[in-house]
């Protein structure tokens, strides 16, 4: 595609800016409606724990690179522990949940550690903010017990209990509106370009010259509407 074609295409799109705008606005409205009425808001609650495990290293004062590395390895272990059936079933019985499988609980949980420290964060996701906080707190409690018994961790302390989240983390209304707007604009541009591509009519004097090599002896503009 030559630069002239692109220029013509841009001109073509510029002339139809209203169609693109309308499409973008419609998609934004649809995105807003879907976000507000159709998507169930999801809440996240975090609890943080301090996990200390004595390393094999004899010199505890010197935190070597290997120790840090081992620490990040351990976070993976903790993650699996948090997501284990043992923890999940303990949570279910603790909270007295019914109709919930251990898998359902595991899916709601995620574990991260903060910047290579020994502090790990347990995040619970639920459509009910209070439930999310409850699960996060219960998991932290269960983990505290299990980690010591299963993983021979020296000490686990709960730093922060999960609080009931005020705002859902999902859906993000603003993000969805922006995405809807951009999508609407892109889709309408695509359709217009396609229509333009399949439009094989003569439009300009140059077209006439190009296709039938007959001189254009007159050009009559569109009559203004009365």
Residues that bind another protein (CB under 8 A): 7-8, 11, 15, 199-208, 211-212, 214-223
* Minimum CB–partner distance for residue 28 and another protein (Å): 27
Encode burial over 164-191: b for 16+ CB neighbours within 10 A, e otherwise.
Answer: ebeebeebeeeebbeebbebbbeebbee
Which of residues 114 and 203 has its CB atom nearest to another protein in the complex?
A: 203
CB of 189 to another protein, least distance (A): 18
Dihedral angle sign, alpha carbons of residues 206, 207, 210, 213: negative
Closest CB 219 distance from another protein, rounded Å: 5
Q: From residue 73, how far is each of 17, 50, 118, 194 by CA, in Å?
A: 54, 16, 11, 52
Residue with tokens 């459509």: 127
| 35 CB-near residues (< 8 Å, 6+ apart) | 171, 173, 176, 177
Which tokens belong to 197? Answer: 């591509």
Which residue number, 5 or 62, has a Cβ lying nearer to another protein? Answer: 5
Do residues 30 and 180 touch, judged by C-beta distance below 8 A?
yes
For residues 89 and 60, give the distance between their C-alpha atoms in angstroms, rounded to a whole number: 36
User: Closest CB to another protein among 14 and 166?
Assistant: 14
From the list 59, 61, 51, the residue with the least C-alpha distance to 158 is: 51
Rounded least distance, CB 23 to another protein, Å: 20
Please state the closest distance from residue 187 (CB atom) to another protein, in A. 24
Instruction: Considering the complex, state which of residue 69 and residue 202 has its C-beta at the smaller distance from another protein.
Output: 202
- Asked if residues 27 and 180 have their Cβ atoms less than 8 Å apart, the reply is yes
Is 50 or 211 the residue whose CB approaches another protein more closely? 211
**Least distance from another protein to the Cβ atom of residue 204, Å:** 5
Of 72 and 204, the one with the shorter C-beta distance to another protein is 204
């Amino acid at each position: 595609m030559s630069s002239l074609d692109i220029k013509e295409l841009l001109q073509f799109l510029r002339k139809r800016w209203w169609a693109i705008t309308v499409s973008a606005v419609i998609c934004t409205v649809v995105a807003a409606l879907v976000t507000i009425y159709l998507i169930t808001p999801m809440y996240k609650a975090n609890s943080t724990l301090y996990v200390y495990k004595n390393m094999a290293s004899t010199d505890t004062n010197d935190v070597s690179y290997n120790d840090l590395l081992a620490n990040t390895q351990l976070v993976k272990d903790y993650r699996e522990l948090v997501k284990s059936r043992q923890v999940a079933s303990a949570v279910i019985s603790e909270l007295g949940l019914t109709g919930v499988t251990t898998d359902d609980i595991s899916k709601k949980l995620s574990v991260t550690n903060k910047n290579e420290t020994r502090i790990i964060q347990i995040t619970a996701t639920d459509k009910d903010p209070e439930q999310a906080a409850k699960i996060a707190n219960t998991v932290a409690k269960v983990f505290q017990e299990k980690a010591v018994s299963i993983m021979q961790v020296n000490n686990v302390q709960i730093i922060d209990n999960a609080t009931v989240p005020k705002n859902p983390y999902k859906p993000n209304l603003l993000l969805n509106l922006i995405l809807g707007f951009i999508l609407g604009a892109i889709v309408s541009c695509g359709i217009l370009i396609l229509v333009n591509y399949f439009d094989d009519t003569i439009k300009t004097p140059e077209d006439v010259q190009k296709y039938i090599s007959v001189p254009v002896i007159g050009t009559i503009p569109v009559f203004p509407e009365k």
